[in-house]
């Protein structure tokens, strides 16, 4: 059986996107959240996490609302593969430090913040809820 160079090239090219996806091409930075205003109650509820990369590593801007917007925390974060780790300082909503462990995916951020009963499942957003 004779296989042309062009056919071999076409086969290899068709396989490239599948290989690239298998290697993990998830963008780690972005805005993740469900922070929103509830007009009927006049409340701000939900959570927002903004992940950015700096010269010294990753940083997270974190805010949650429970009736009203809570304080904004900016902390260092670690990425290991697609897993995100950071610790929030005491103050604001919690009087003790809280650690987050989660997974960044193409569609959102999924994980657990210590001291919270429920896991966070935050969709990826185009912009911050705090943007005008």
- Confirm whether 2 is domain-assigned: no
Q: What is the mean pLDDT of residues 80-86?
A: 97
* Model pLDDT, residue 24: 59
> Per the structure, how many domains does the chain have?
1
* Model pLDDT, residue 127: 82
Sorting pLDDT into bands at 50, 70 and 90, what band is 128? confident
Q: What is the mean pLDDT of residues 12-17?
A: 44
Can you point out the beta strands (E) in 3-107? 30-33, 36-38, 43-54, 57-67, 73-80, 83-88, 98-104
Structure-block tokens of residue 112:
């657990």
- Confirm whether 55 is domain-assigned: yes
- Confirm whether 108 is domain-assigned: yes
Structure-block tokens of residue 97:
């430090």
**Residue 2: is it exposed, middle or buried by C-beta count within 10 angstroms (0-12/13-18/19+)?**
exposed
pLDDT digits (tens, 9 = 90+) for 88-106: 999 867 788 999 999 999 9
Q: What is the mean pLDDT of residues 63-85?
A: 92
Number of helices (H), then strands (E), in the chain = 1, 9
* Model pLDDT, residue 21: 38
pLDDT of 115 over the 80 cut:
yes
Whole-angstrom distance, CA of residue 28 vs CA of residue 42: 33
Domain that holds residue 103: 30-125
3-state class (DSSP) for residue 4: coil
- Confirm whether 13 is domain-assigned: no
Mean pLDDT of the chain: 82
- Confirm whether 25 is domain-assigned: no
- Confirm whether 106 is domain-assigned: yes
- Confirm whether 19 is domain-assigned: no
Whole-angstrom distance, CA of residue 63 vs CA of residue 17: 36
- Confirm whether 17 is domain-assigned: no
* Model pLDDT, residue 68: 82
């Amino acid at each position: 059986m004779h296989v042309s160079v062009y056919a071999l090239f076409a086969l290899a090219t068709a396989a490239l996107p599948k290989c690239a996806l298998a290697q993990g091409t998830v963008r780690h930075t972005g805005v993740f959240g469900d922070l929103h205003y509830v007009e009927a109650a006049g409340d701000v509820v939900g959570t927002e996490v903004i992940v950015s990369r700096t010269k010294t590593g990753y940083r997270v801007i974190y805010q949650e609302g429970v009736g009203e917007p809570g304080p904004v925390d900016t902390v260092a974060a670690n990425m290991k593969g697609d897993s995100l780790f950071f610790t929030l300082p005491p103050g604001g909503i919690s009087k003790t430090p809280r650690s987050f462990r989660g997974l960044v995916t193409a569609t959102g951020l999924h994980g657990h913040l210590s001291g919270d009963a429920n896991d966070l499942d935050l969709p990826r957003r185009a912009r911050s809820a705090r943007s005008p």
